[in-house]
Structure 1
């Protein structure tokens, strides 16, 4: 129960810090700095590697970034483990990611000790399964440092 309160506080803090950027920065470099931060951290590099592996169809690299008990929410679907994700949606997600072009609009990674939160928005365009794709999406990842390695323990994708 104590961990649930910590996670709620952590996500609330992250979402509040996400909103801090409502005021326009005065220079282009400030704009870039406020829209992309924390990517150079170990947790940030884990997130970037995860997405690169999805786009390149590298299943084992994707899976190595996921905690065994990862929870993945997308639309009305939920997957309750890395193995469930491997069996149900990994192949489709890799095919989709390799078929379309995704541009990141903004991306923040906040590290809180052994926990990190990655929040991003993106714009995806391309053709997938004979359907034209042109949509914006949001992603929240929660990572935990386990035995010195950052592992994704929660994913929430919305489009």
Structure 2
């Protein structure tokens, strides 16, 4: 009986450790996807940026909602130009996965000049990701910012 209990405890704890390892791996992966997305924007690498977005991504910014097609057709280029022109510091506040859904909450500060305007802002970002066919893709982005005073 003692052997059975010890075996049960070992197997049970192994499952918990395995599940925790999978969650830790997924959290690291969603953080990496978000980081690669921002790096692609900074490098003006449209192909990589688009590969990280789901086909039906939604983008919310400044009170506007854009579909994937709207974002890809015009706003993505503007985001790449902005990211390349303005220096920023981004800090992940929280990254969570629950099954095939994950989200990353970040804060940022941006300083520089863009299209003749001085930029000194702080922002908040929420990126929701969905695991599709074993890969994490960005499903929704919400950005908000304000002047840094």
Tell me the TM-score normalized by structure 2: 0.77
Checking the alignment, whether the CA contact within 8 Å between 1:105 and 1:123 is kept in structure 2 is no
Match 1:43 to one of 13, 27, 30: 30
Instruction: Flag structure 2 segments of 5+ consecutive residues without an equivalent.
Output: 1-23
SS of alignment partner, residue 57 of structure 1: coil
State how 1:53-72 maps to structure 2 within 5 Å: 53-72=40-59
Query: Structure 1: how far apart are the matches of 2:92 and 2:49?
Result: 22
Tell me the equivalent position of 2:144: 158
Q: 1:126 to 1:63 in 2, by over 3 A?
A: same
Tell me the TM-score normalized by structure 1: 0.72
> How far is 1:107 from its partner?
3.2
User: Over aligned residue pairs, what C-alpha RMSD do you find?
Assistant: 1.8
Query: Structure 2: how far apart are the matches of 1:155 and 1:89?
Result: 13
The structure with the larger Rg is 2
Count of matched residue positions in the alignment of Structure 1 and Structure 2 = 122
Please identify runs of 4+ aligned residues in structure 1 that moved more than 3 A: 37-40
Instruction: Flag structure 1 segments of 5+ consecutive residues without an equivalent.
Output: 1-36
Q: 1:101 to 1:38 in 2, by over 3 A?
A: farther
Match 2:73 to one of 76, 81, 87: 87
State how 1:1-150 maps to structure 2 within 5 Å: 41-81=28-68, 83-150=69-136
Deviation track 1:74-126 (CA, whole Å, cap 9, x = no partner) reads: 01211122x22110201110000000001124432111111101000000000
